[in-house]
Amino acid sequence: MKILLIADLEGASGVVDNEQQAKPGASLYHEARNYLISDVGGAVEGAIEGGADEVIIFDMHYSGLNLNLEEIHPRAKVVMGKPRKIYPFFPELYQKIKGVMMVGFHAMAQAPGGLLTHSYDHSMKAIYLNGILVGEIGMEAAMAGYYHVPLILVTGDSEGVKEAENLLGEIETATVKYAINEHSALCLPLELTRKEIKEKAKKATENINRFSPFRIDPPYSIEVEFFEKEGAQKMEGFPGLQKINEVKVRVEGENLPLLWESFIGFYQKYD
């Protein structure tokens, strides 16, 4: 059994500041990176103890170079690097995996009481998928659902976990810190969070057949509202783009992973 683990940094243990911790090269980035590696390590260990024979890790944060291969479990592989036009890799990958885990995630942009809230890009105010307000957790769950694969575990701050539970219902979660506001949280020691993540990952893998994919049927409509009009302007020239107003655009298609990867790649100018 193969598991896909998607790793982000803002929702990892101990991370509460974007400028000092979450941005590569920042003063405390190296420490934050070690926090993420600890969380990821717990999830990989739990998945393997729960019956997985391989874990494929997708490093989703910034440059995709946040994980130290020297500290990755030998039965895991890592998709690294950015620009990450990884859509061509998706169909083959999702045919092999049985479940998805999301480690180090956070609530969507403008989530009340959330910590380091955003949705893929800090310029994006809201993302609607077929009318459903989603952040990174919801969109990644829906893309897995497109391939009929369930999201089985989410780890992150208290508000990110709450978002996952409200949207997905039956899912394992591990709260590694309790949000106080946008830039502070009550944080738990790595020893505790790694143990909690490992236990939840093991439980999720052992009981993988009880989880259902977050399935949204095609056709797909994605509406993105930006904080500033410059965001919508950056999307000009994208094939099939519909401009709703000066800060909101819509794209439509039949293949959700291809549609979203094309959109975000165009916006962030992947090479």
Mean pLDDT of the chain: 95
Per-residue pLDDT, 86: 65
For the stretch 72-99, pLDDT in tens is: 999 999 998 865 566 677 788 888 999 9
Round to whole Å and give the CA distance between 238 and 67. 33
For the stretch 214-256, pLDDT in tens is: 999 999 999 999 999 999 999 999 999 999 999 999 999 999 9
Q: What is the mean pLDDT of residues 135-157?
A: 97
Q: What is the mean pLDDT of residues 242-271?
A: 92
Round to whole Å and give the CA distance between 250 and 38. 38
For the stretch 185-196, pLDDT in tens is: 999 999 999 999
Q: What is the mean pLDDT of residues 139-167?
A: 97
Q: In what order do the strands lie in the sheet with 172-181?
A: 76-79, 54-59, 2-7, 97-105, 151-157, 172-181, 184-187
What CATH number does the domain located at 2-108+136-210 have? 3.40.50.10780
The distance in angstroms from the start CA to the end CA of the chain is 33
Strand partners, 181: 184
Round to whole Å and give the CA distance between 18 and 32. 10
Per-residue pLDDT, 87: 65
Domain locations in the chain? 2-108+136-210
Per-residue pLDDT, 269: 81
Helix 29-49 with 190-206: angle, nearest 10 deg: 30
Per-residue pLDDT, 270: 64
Round to whole Å and give the CA distance between 141 and 150. 7
Prediction pTM value: 0.95
Matching residue, tokens 């897995």: 144
Q: What is the mean pLDDT of residues 112-120?
A: 96
Would the pLDDT of 143 be above 90?
yes
pLDDT band per the 50, 70, 90 thresholds, residue 5: very high
What's the CA dihedral at 231, 233, 238, 243 to 10 degrees?
90
For the stretch 15-47, pLDDT in tens is: 999 999 999 999 999 999 999 999 999 999 999
Per-residue pLDDT, 171: 96
Q: What is the mean pLDDT of residues 197-213?
A: 97
Strand partners, 171: none
Per-residue pLDDT, 200: 98
Q: What is the mean pLDDT of residues 207-213?
A: 97
Per-residue pLDDT, 92: 87
Residues 6/58, Cβ–Cβ less than 8 Å: yes
